[in-house]
Amino acid sequence: MAIDRTEPTTAPGQIQLAVTGVSKRFGGVRAVEDVSIAVRRGAIASVIGPNGAGKTSLLNMISGFYKPDTGSIVFDGTDITRFRPSEIAACGIARTFQNIALFSGMTVLDNIMLGRHVHMKAGILSSLVYWGLAQREEVRHRARVEELIDFLGLQDLRRQPAGALAYGLRKRVELARALALDPKVLLLDEPMGGMNQEEKEDMARYILDVNEQWGTTVILIEHDMALVMDISDRVSVLDRGRKIAEGTPAEVQRNPDVMRAYLGGVAEEEQAA
């Protein structure tokens, strides 16, 4: 399938990604049920909810790893519902994973270079026949990767194996690899999971910088509610596969359904009192 990498037709503030009525079941288990979200270009949109709410399944459908049983996903005016993950990446949607998915035996530099694969035009045959062309392309991609290494403060680690790094640094390398695709939309699945407070603050700053400096739309799954409410423009809340609330951080924090989803009967008792 030919992928159109022309400039997006959506202007800043317009709907860039529309997920409409998507559902996904695994046998008798309802992972996601009739969920719709609309994300504006240039926004930071967070998806929150208790464990097992369907958040990662939703991201897996957007990135093509799962196909929805029902519903549609439209990106920049193109229906990508049945696209393969590689096709969706070529459209400009990149993601990180809840469980770090780096190649531990490869260097930091080589892991990030893998994120440039969508942009590489010189195949094996052309590399053999047109060595100069392939070499120039390699230099160009390497320059972009070096920019990302500087941006994320990984200069002293570029030659180290990814598997030898501390957990927080490996999370940063995975972010760099996703950014190497030069995405229009960045999907982040618990990017702060397992980090200490200082590492979380660093990651939050990087996410804000990516959004503000490059205009990248961000869709974020995260359990740290204080951080989510700090950096998000819009928040959608899932519970048991369904969307139960959506709005600004302030609106979501006041929503009684959200309180019940997180606090159960405690919230109900407090409201009754």
Give per-residue pLDDT as tens, 102-121.
888 899 999 998 888 766 55
The pTM (predicted TM-score) of the whole model is 0.85
Average pLDDT over residues 73-84: 97
Q: What is the C-alpha separation between 153 and 205, in angstroms, rounded?
A: 12
Q: What is the C-alpha separation between 115 and 178, in angstroms, rounded?
A: 6
* Residue 141 contacts residue 116 (beta carbons within 8 Å): yes
Query: Which ranges in 39-119 belong to alpha helices (H)?
Result: 55-62, 85-91, 108-114
* Strands 70-75 vs 44-48: parallel, antiparallel or unpaired: unpaired
Average pLDDT over residues 28-39: 96
Predicted local confidence at residue 211, as pLDDT: 97
Res. 8: pLDDT tops 90:
no
For each of the domains in the chain, give its residue range(s) and CATH number, in order of start. 12-92+183-273 (3.40.50.300), 106-180 (no CATH)
From residue 6, alpha-carbon distances to 78, 92, 157 in Å are 12, 10, 34
Q: What is the C-alpha separation between 88 and 75, in angstroms, rounded?
A: 9
Predicted local confidence at residue 141, as pLDDT: 78
Considering only CA atoms, give the Rg of the chain: 20
Q: Residues 262-265: contacts with CB within 8 Å, 24+ apart?
A: 262/50
Higher pLDDT, 128 or 200: 200
Residue 148 φ then ψ, to 5°: -70, -40
- The label of the residue with tokens 């270079």 reads 113
pLDDT band at 263 (very low <50, low <70, confident <90, very high): low
Would the CA dihedral through 167, 111, 57, 78 be positive or negative? positive
Average pLDDT over residues 196-223: 95
